[in-house]
Chain A
Amino acid sequence: MEETNLKIRKSDIVLTCAIVVFCAVAAAAMFFLRTGGDTVRIYKDGELFSEHSLSSDAVINVDGLMDVVIQNGKVRVENSVCPSGACEHSGFVYKKGESIICLPNRILIKISGEGETDAVSG
Chain B
Amino acid sequence: MLLAVSLILSYAENLIFSDIFLPGIKLGLSNIAVVVALYFFGFAPALLLGMAKSVISLLIVGRLSGLLYSVLGIVFSVCVMFAVKKTGSFSVFGVGISGAAAHIAGQLAAACITLSSLYPVTLFPVLCLLSVVSAAILYYPERIILSFLRKKNSFE
B-binding residues in A (CB < 8 A): 1, 4-9, 11-12, 15-16, 19-20, 22-24, 26-27, 30, 43, 45-47, 83-86, 89, 97, 99, 101, 103-104, 106, 108, 110, 118-120, 122
Residues of B113-142 at the interface with A, using a CB-CB cut-off of 8 Å, are: 114-126, 128-129, 132, 136, 139
Please tell me if the beta carbons of A103 and B111 are within 8 angstroms of each other in the complex: yes
Assembled-state Cα–Cα distance A24/B133 (Å)? 13
Assembled-state Cα–Cα distance A16/B65 (Å)? 32
> A119 with B117: in contact, given A5-B91, A6-B143, A8-B91 (CB under 8 Å)?
yes
Please tell me if the beta carbons of B129 and A101 are within 8 angstroms of each other in the complex: no
Please tell me if the beta carbons of B129 and A27 are within 8 angstroms of each other in the complex: yes
> A16 with B63: in contact, given A84-B24, A85-B23, A89-B22 (CB under 8 Å)?
no
Please tell me if the beta carbons of A16 and B119 are within 8 angstroms of each other in the complex: no
Assembled-state Cα–Cα distance A22/B98 (Å)? 13
> A119 with B129: in contact, given A1-B150, A1-B153 (CB under 8 Å)?
no
Assembled-state Cα–Cα distance A47/B117 (Å)? 9
Number of interface residues of B (CB under 8 A): 42
Which residue on chain A has the smallest CB distance to residue B101?
A19
B17 located at the interface, meaning its Cβ lies under 8 Å from any Cβ of chain A in the complex: no
Which residues of chain B are within 8 angstroms of A45 by Cβ–Cβ distance? 116
Which residues of chain B are within 8 angstroms of A118 by Cβ–Cβ distance? 118
Contact of A86 among B24, B118, B139 (CB under 8 A): B24
Assembled-state Cα–Cα distance A11/B114 (Å)? 36
Contact of A8 among B40, B93, B125 (CB under 8 A): B93
A-binding residues in B (CB < 8 A): 22-24, 39-40, 63, 65-66, 69, 89-94, 97-98, 101, 111, 114-126, 128-129, 132, 136, 139, 143, 146-147, 150, 153
Report the minimal beta-carbon distance from A20 to chain B, rounded to whole angstroms. 6
Closest 3 A/B residue pairs (Cβ):
A46-B116, A12-B94, A27-B125
Contact of A119 among B39, B90, B118 (CB under 8 A): B118
Which residues of chain A are within 8 angstroms of B69 by Cβ–Cβ distance? 103
Please tell me if the beta carbons of A23 and B126 are within 8 angstroms of each other in the complex: yes
Which residue on chain A has the smallest CB distance to residue B154?
A1
> A108 with B117: in contact, given A4-B92, A6-B92, A101-B111 (CB under 8 Å)?
yes
Please tell me if the beta carbons of A4 and B39 are within 8 angstroms of each other in the complex: yes
Please tell me if the beta carbons of B119 and A6 are within 8 angstroms of each other in the complex: no
Known contacts A11-B89, A120-B118; 18 additional CB pairs below 8 A are A1-B153, A4-B92, A9-B90, A11-B94, A15-B94, A15-B97, A15-B98, A19-B98, A20-B129, A23-B125, A23-B129, A24-B129, A27-B126, A45-B116, A46-B116, A84-B23, A84-B24, A101-B120
